[in-house]
Amino acid sequence: MRTLTVDLNERSYPIYIGRGIRQQKALFDEAIHGKQVMIVTNDTIAPLYLDAMVDMLSADYKVDTCILPDGEEFKTLDTYGTIMTSLLEAKHNRTTTVIALGGGVVGDMAGFAAATYQRGVPFIQVPTTLLSQVDSSVGGKTGVNHPLGKNMIGAFYQPQAVIIDTDSLLSLPQRELSAGMAEVIKYGLICDVPFFDWLEQEMPALMSLDNDKISEAIYRSCLAKANVVAQDEREGGVRAILNLGHTFGHAIETQMGYGNWLHGEAVAAGSVLAMDLSWRMGNITDEDFRRTVDLFKAAKLPILPPVNMTLANFVERMALDKKVLDGSLRLVLLGALGEAIVTSDFPMEDFNACLTDALEASKQANLAIS
């Protein structure tokens, strides 16, 4: 087992990474401070892992469960209300601990419920997808989607611990594994060129779920994110670099309908767009751009936007992004490979050309994900 710490002073917490650690009760005991536990999961994960977790914890805690429908389309205020109703009906008090057992949607919603139930109760992240293990479970972003925009309702609220069991990846569909790899690649692009180089060499092993390689990728991804979050917990500055590809990607997710494109798929296509714009601005080389596209391809991820989106769709959706400041769209781009920047200072003709060319290429390739 490997351990690292997200250093946020009194809100600091450990991240544990290892095989089979979901059943190491001592890790949970360290993070549970009362006698009540609410496990929030979904109807895909529950049949796989819920009973074992309930059995493990029931000897020492009153354990209740809340099973949600699976899918990004259910990341809504209504589903959040389901969690709150479960907590209230089971008479959970301020010393309860919420455990998020699932992927990013479960983690975001359970975390938001924990942040707001009786004005805040502890919670633990037990992420079961690669994407949630390397990204959404770390850093304290919680929330739900709105039909007009992704993650527009939420709170910054840190967990007590993140417990990453790599064995859970064995039950992950190939498409979900690829989606998670988009966030792994992101860290190499924004802040760690040696990691990017390593990913180029090891992608076949990673996609085959070689345990040593995948554990290393998760550790280095979490370390990169922990370092950024420690500098900027509430995204007032440098933390925004973690959103490479996300402004384009959120536009894709919202336009296509939540769940039709997985988050990681949209981030991959969005990252290629961000790299394309960075290249047009002269910030990265032809070779940097080519290597990036090849790496996303090797991870079996889309490199073009949806065939049925338009430039107007992107402009409309991106105008609602959280990074818009005083009416100006800010994008995460690269100043160089491994050096991300957040800027509104980009030529609009390059922005429009980047999207127009990608959309035309998508039509020619007839790209569609359903």
The residues annotated with a catalytic role in the active site are: 119, 141, 183, 225, 235, 239, 243, 246, 250, 263
User: Would you say 28 is a known binding-site residue?
Assistant: no
Which residue, chain included where needed, has tokens 């910030």?
283
101, two tokens: 């057992």
User: Would you say 183 is a known binding-site residue?
Assistant: yes
Residue 242: name the closest of 271, 262, 219, 279 by CA: 271
DSSP designation for 46: I
Question: In what helix (H) or strand (E) does residue 341 lie, and over which residues does it extend?
Answer: strand 339-343
First-residue to last-residue Cα distance in the chain = 38
For residue 209, the SS3 value is coil
User: Would you say 310 is a known binding-site residue?
Assistant: no
User: Would you say 91 is a known binding-site residue?
Assistant: no
d(CA 364, CA 71): 30
d(CA 29, CA 226): 23
For residue 13, the SS3 value is strand
Count CA atoms closer than 13 A to 348's CA, side-chain side: 4
User: Would you say 62 is a known binding-site residue?
Assistant: no
Neighbours of 289 (CB within 10 A): 18
d(CA 109, CA 194): 34
User: Would you say 263 is a known binding-site residue?
Assistant: yes
User: Would you say 108 is a known binding-site residue?
Assistant: yes
Beta partners for 65? 39
User: Would you say 71 is a known binding-site residue?
Assistant: yes
User: Would you say 92 is a known binding-site residue?
Assistant: no
User: Would you say 129 is a known binding-site residue?
Assistant: yes
d(CA 241, CA 227): 12
User: Would you say 106 is a known binding-site residue?
Assistant: yes
User: Would you say 107 is a known binding-site residue?
Assistant: yes
Annotated binding residues for NAD(+), written as ranges, equal 70-75, 104-108, 128-129, 141, 150
Annotated binding residues, written as ranges, equal 70-75, 104-108, 128-129, 141, 150, 183, 246, 263
Annotated binding residues for Zn(2+), written as ranges, equal 183, 246, 263
